[in-house]
Structure 1
């Protein structure tokens, strides 16, 4: 039955919960259709695919979208399903066979009114603080995960890098970053060497299964989501903020 299957694979349970919710299922069907249409056309409509993903994470119940994105896994089968959640062949990977330098999506993000504020929000929401016992503010996890989800569908879309861990990274590396190598590593380190993000993803396990019931609660007034921000914070520069926050994650 569904219960035993979900017990073995919580990502199946998350998918079933989304399917049972008409709004979640409708928005998921929309991004799957957009992101898979390249299979017939021979070319990935990356912009349309990512736009549909942003709509999914902005408009579907957050409890359900986060359950799909962060469902805890104890097996490669579960982790592979989690890794494939948003059709990474189109939404995550770029047009080339090899990942580009991380400076490429970073520079594009800084010029984007959609991506830039989301990346700044992610940096701020997942940043460590010196005085916290483990370096991460208490109750930071949900805010950090929401900001991370806000990056899905942007040019710096992150994803799980394999099906044997919960490690995440954007589709890029720093092998060809030249004299901007330190800046490149600082950006990539926001994902690959961020103990607060790692801790938030691990802690999601403790919020399971109540997380799947949260979407049933009545809405409490207007919602302000980091994922729906389109403006750019005044006086903030990604290039100036990045090295500071990234280096903090290494401490």
Structure 2
């Protein structure tokens, strides 16, 4: 182990793996549960590597980043991927971590400093074979039910969250709008929508004024997935942490320390 990683790097990995034991942060717990699952961690590392990369023309490789994100939510264990996306937060530190879950600087916002009209990503989505069916599924799955107290029927909540997660990595990728609430929206507004402002507001309202979506997210938070308790190491066993580190040895041994620092920082950032 020392030959592979070195004492300093080993210590860094062990420290990053023990954050949740002192923070009581559900989003940290979700990240550690994903790390403990080989498939979840592999897919998560893939999208982080893509989204933190650099395109040949500068900026980030947005298309590759979003493709890796779609793969993460399509192939990762839903209980773990949804826990990362919908982890409940009681404070701004947790909420900011949740907001940063899928490297939004590349996958969500930009490339300009100001959000575009929502008509732009909507028009692109309607022409996309990837985005269009996902947006339609979201509209169908998250349509508020007038008879439901929270706007979402009991058997509708899981379908709504799956459909929402399916939009991450598309032209209309939604995310949390701040670190003081659980409000979500795509990176766009309706300030420059001209005579189609009503269409623009209707689209944005699918996220910002959707009682079913809000209710589904709240219900997920109140029924925190039991699978996370099995994935996490409740005793904080150092031997368990060492085994996790040793499993990454082969993948890291040919890479320099500088090249893997973004990956090592992953549990602290996401």
TM-score range, shorter chain: 0.7 to 0.9
SS in 2 for 1:169: strand
1:85 is aligned, of 95, 98, 101, to 101
| RMSD (CA atoms) | 1.9
Q: How far apart, CA to CA, are the structure 2 residues paired with 1:186 and 1:179?
A: 13
The count of residues paired between Structure 1 and Structure 2 equals 214
- Give, in angstroms, the shift of residue 182 of structure 1: 0.2
Partner of 1:167: 183
Partner of 1:5: 22
Runs of 4 or more above 4 Å deviation? none
Partner of 2:199: 183
Q: In the alignment, is residue 61 of structure 1 matched against residue 77 of structure 2?
A: yes
Q: In the alignment, is residue 49 of structure 1 matched against residue 54 of structure 2?
A: no
- Give, in angstroms, the shift of residue 137 of structure 1: 1.7
Q: Does the CA contact (< 8 Å) of 2:84 and 2:101 recur in 1? A: yes
Q: Larger radius of gyration, structure 1 or 2? A: 2
Deviations 1:155-195 (A, max 9, x none): 00000011110000000000000000000000000000101
Q: Quickly say closer, same or farther: Cα 1:101–1:211, change in 2 above 3 A.
A: farther
- Give, in angstroms, the shift of residue 43 of structure 1: 1.3
Q: How far apart, CA to CA, are the structure 2 residues paired with 1:176 and 1:76?
A: 31
Q: In the alignment, is residue 205 of structure 1 matched against residue 215 of structure 2?
A: no
Partner of 1:131: 147
Using the size of structure 2 for normalisation, the TM-score is 0.75
- Give, in angstroms, the shift of residue 119 of structure 1: 0.4
Partner of 2:164: 148
- Give, in angstroms, the shift of residue 212 of structure 1: 2.5
- Give, in angstroms, the shift of residue 42 of structure 1: 3.5
Structure 2 runs not aligned, ≥5 long: 1-17, 232-270
Structure 1 runs not aligned, ≥5 long: 216-251
- Give, in angstroms, the shift of residue 3 of structure 1: 5.8
- Give, in angstroms, the shift of residue 207 of structure 1: 1.8
Q: How far apart, CA to CA, are the structure 2 residues paired with 1:111 and 1:64?
A: 31
Using the size of structure 1 for normalisation, the TM-score is 0.81
- Give, in angstroms, the shift of residue 65 of structure 1: 0.2
Q: Quickly say closer, same or farther: Cα 1:214–1:129, change in 2 above 3 A.
A: farther
Q: How far apart, CA to CA, are the structure 2 residues paired with 1:16 and 1:205?
A: 17
